[in-house]
A = this chain, B = another copy of it.
């Protein structure tokens, strides 16, 4: 295999979406964990449902709608004082601690992001986190008005990076995204992070587990810094 480009998912792969937990807990004491978990679950559900309904709205609006659901589920009334800071935080997500080191070690290959995020969200996120030092292209699915794992999303990569799909290693910690990348024809690495919430909660039991949808990843690793040895 000749991997000429690595394409990364953003949310959950390079950036820790659970890093909003501290702010959620500060704003809604005792409920930060449940709000954060339900927020993420509904955010993904809404991307799939809006794609199926063919009623696309961008990821900022979907993320806000999912937050409204999560807050109400936790019996918190959504208002600007709570939603404002939590949404703002989405533009300043922490990269995983090993992200910079991993990207630096991959320097010399084409590095890109392919994400559900809107162009504005991704632009701010990559700049605010400093990962723009290594990432050559940030590709939003916004132009195809359907979310991953729709194959039209993955098809955006080729024309931008000018590499055939068999030369692309797609990297995601989201197992449905690995399935989509494999179904499209990329080589795929699954970053299998240990459960965030731990197996003590039902949500924790959903994490770090391959989907039963066929299309197994070519590689399963535990951190981004394991990638260079795959090449």
Contacts and interface: CB of A to CB of B under 8 A. Distances in A.
Given A49-B48, A180-B53, A69 B38 contact: no
A125 interface: no
A197 to B, nearest CB: 9
B53 A212 contact: no
Interface residues of A, number: 41
A34 interface: yes
Interface in A141-156: 146-147, 149-151
A212 B69 contact: yes
Interface stretch (A13-21, A110-118, A201-209): A201-209
B212 A151 contact: no
Contact of A73 (B50, B205, B213, B214): B205
A151 B74 contact: no
Taken together, the copies of this chain in the complex come to 2
Contacts of A214: 55
Chain A contact residues: helix, strand, loop or mixed:
helix
Interface string A8-45: 00000000000000000000000000100110011001
A206 B38 contact: yes
Contacts of A69: 209, 211-212
A175 to B, nearest CB: 10
B53 A213 contact: yes
Contact of A34 (B38, B45, B146, B202): B202
Contact of A176 (B49, B68, B202): B49
A48 B38 contact: no
A46 B202 contact: no
Nearest to A41: B206
Given A45-B176, A73-B206, A74-B205, 18 more contacts: A38-B202, A42-B212, A45-B45, A46-B213, A48-B49, A49-B149, A52-B52, A53-B151, A53-B179, A53-B180, A53-B183, A55-B183, A55-B213, A55-B214, A69-B211, A73-B205, A201-B202, A202-B203
Interface of A: 34, 37-38, 41-42, 45-46, 48-55, 65-66, 68-69, 72-74, 146-147, 149-151, 176, 179-180, 183, 201-203, 205-206, 209, 211-214
